[in-house]
Amino acid sequence: MAKEVKFSLVFRDMWQSAGKYQPRVDQLVKVAPAIIRMGCFDRVETNGGGFEQVNLLYGENPNKSVREWTKPFHEAGIQTHMLDRALNGLRMSPCPKDVRRLFYKVKKAQGTDITRIFCGLNDKRNVLPSIEYAKAAGMIAQAALCITYSPIHTVEYYVDLAKCFIDAGADEICLKDMAGIGRPVSLGKIVAGIKAYKKDIVIQYHSHAGPGFCMASILEVAKAGCDYIDTAVAPLAWGTGHADIIAVQEMLKDAGFKVKDINMEAYMEVRTQIQEMCDDFLGYYIPELNHINNSLLVKPGLPGGMMGSLMTDLEDNLRSLNKWKVKNGQPELTTDQLLVKLFDEVAYVWPKVGYPCLVTPFSQYVKNLALMNVIQMEKGKERWSMIADNIWDMILGKSGQLPGPVAQELKDMAKAEGREFETKDPQSYYPDKLDEFKQEMEANGWELGQDNEELFELAMHPEQYRAYKSGKAKADFEKDLAERKAKKNAPSGAAQPDKITVSVNGQTYEVNIAYGDAAPAPTAAAAATAPVGEGEDLLAPLEGKFYLVKDGSETPKKVGDAVKEGDTLGYIEAMKTFNAIRADKAGVITAILVNSGDSVEEDDPIMKLA
């Protein structure tokens, strides 16, 4: 009898791999019936890493989204699954233990059946507690092997890791080939090795299409006994995303596997609705290059889920760098030139920092470190001259044990800066904090929510949740969308305006427009409210969002505070990492020129020191 291979639609990851945002809940609920009518999916990835954060960013409650989005699939007998970053939960940074425990209770209550637990370091200490917490909450615990290609990450390495997870009680194993650079034959051997250890263990394969290996890899893992394959639907298939269900289904059917048929009328309806979502607002955050496969990705091994946001962020990085180059009489770089420099630098940096698997958050850390190196070297500065604190945490072992050794030059830098390498269980650095978040909610008069889901949201994403509750998140998103629409729709030629009025969700915005290297003129309101103080300007070292603190454990600096040289004055959050802004001399803060959460460009004045 032919072996059956089942399919999952990775709807969340399709969007994350394409661009910056996820659909609204009304869009999700509208498309669900057509996905069900396709008839070929036994599973749908409904939520997970990134989903909650991006909903909060544009002012939508993700708890409502998850409950309403998972409901129709349950009614149709389709399992829902999510992506889970182990020690980090749903975010970039590690979570307190009590927040991790609450995480699984909330997601189970909201309707998520399966959690795909992964650690980019493949550190068992980060994954095993999540297996325990998920099972205790009644979820199916799917432990993931983060697949990459290096001298360390061998077939035997991965089979042994899977054995450890199975022995710890994992219900399923996932081969998470997040960059699509796993070599097909080796992947087949990994699946065969796991099945030889436990014949009935369920194995699911997840791969991205970008580098070009994915179809061969899918065939090899299916031949070796893989049970589920993750797939996508056009127009978000291929490119930095995943293989389209049609191609995968036809390939496996021809190879003799039992697979479900596809209702093509429903497929076309899903495809049409996805395009409508892109036309509505999501397409403004999907760069064209993300629709294209690129075998240059084989060398740096950057994951598809990160490439979606990378290409969006790179627009700002390139604009900022070229602004500096023009000011200094240097030729500008093209997007392709910057990409090649970045890919080369990632390949250089990756072994130096111990071969972490390039998946969230470590893909962002390695990419950000490489990009900072490129930008600094383009400006004539030294490599390694800007390393964010959370990147140091990875290098020093606070996120878990790196697979390989750290380069001596980075060890020397750490010693010179008084930083110490750590070997303790990573969870020990992040004590319980739920009681503090409860007190904050009580003080603000905020409801804890059904099944404590609002408490969980604040605890998992403090800054984004506060911005959501204040309305700032929605206002910032709508302003950014208005600017993108204005730029795209602005007329060309000599009559180009410097202002345009656009409407987003019924709200009208007057948007300043800049062409070429010019910066938009500040509005009169902004100019009138800018604070003034004595002393020298402290300039933003890079583009991003300014924050006075990165978490609730810090006390924000204020006007009148005395600071010493090297003191941290605030942070710029860029590319999902917080980069410390340090005082270059001793003095007194006489003015703070931007608000926490404001966007700044490189060389913008952010404080004054006297």
Map 404-423 to HEC letters.
CCCCHHHHHHHHHCCCCCCC
Distance CA 554, CA 558 (A): 12
**H or E segment at 145?**
strand 140-146
DSSP label at residue 400? -
Contacts of 309-313 with C-beta under 8 Å, sequence gap 24+, read 309/16, 309/19, 309/20, 309/575, 309/576, 310/367, 310/575, 311/240, 311/287, 312/19, 312/20, 312/285, 312/286, 312/287, 313/574, 313/575
Q: What is the pLDDT of residue 519?
A: 43
Report the candidate in 566, 565, 563, 564 with the shortest Cα–Cα distance to residue 592: 563
Distance CA 257, CA 219 (A): 10
Q: What is the pLDDT of residue 498?
A: 54
Distance CA 16, CA 289 (A): 14
Q: What is the pLDDT of residue 276?
A: 97
Q: What is the pLDDT of residue 261?
A: 98
Q: Which fold has domain 524-609?
A: OB fold (Dihydrolipoamide Acetyltransferase, E2P) (2.40.50)
Q: What is the pLDDT of residue 289?
A: 77
Q: Which two tokens stand for residue 610?
A: 């006297």
Report the candidate in 233, 178, 167 with the shortest Cα–Cα distance to residue 48: 178
Distance CA 473, CA 486 (A): 20
pTM: 0.82
Architecture of domain 6-290: Alpha-Beta Barrel (3.20)
Q: Which two tokens stand for residue 60?
A: 């939508």
CB 44, CB 77: distance < 8 Å: no
Radius of gyration of the chain (CA): 24
Q: What is the pLDDT of residue 529?
A: 36
Q: What is the pLDDT of residue 388?
A: 86
Burial class, 104, CB count within 10 angstroms (exposed 0-12 / middle 13-18 / buried 19+): buried
Q: What is the pLDDT of residue 491?
A: 65
- Per the listing, tokens 């020191």 go with 609
The DSSP line for 570-605 is EEEEETTEEEEEE-SS-EEEEEE-S-TT-EE-TT-E
- Per the listing, tokens 């596997």 go with 257
Q: What is the pLDDT of residue 92?
A: 83
How many helices and strands, by DSSP H and E, does the chain display?
Answer: 21, 18
200 contacts: CB under 8 Å, gap ≥ 6: none
What pairs with residue 544 in β-bridges? 600
Distance CA 561, CA 488 (A): 44
Cα torsion 389, 392, 396, 400: sign:
positive
Report domain extents, the chain. Answer: 6-290, 304-429, 475-521, 524-609
CB 59, CB 474: distance < 8 Å: yes
Give the residues of the chain that fall short of pLDDT 70: 304-309, 312-313, 490-533, 551-553, 575-576
6 contacts: CB under 8 Å, gap ≥ 6: 42, 43, 227, 228, 229, 260
Q: What is the pLDDT of residue 15?
A: 93
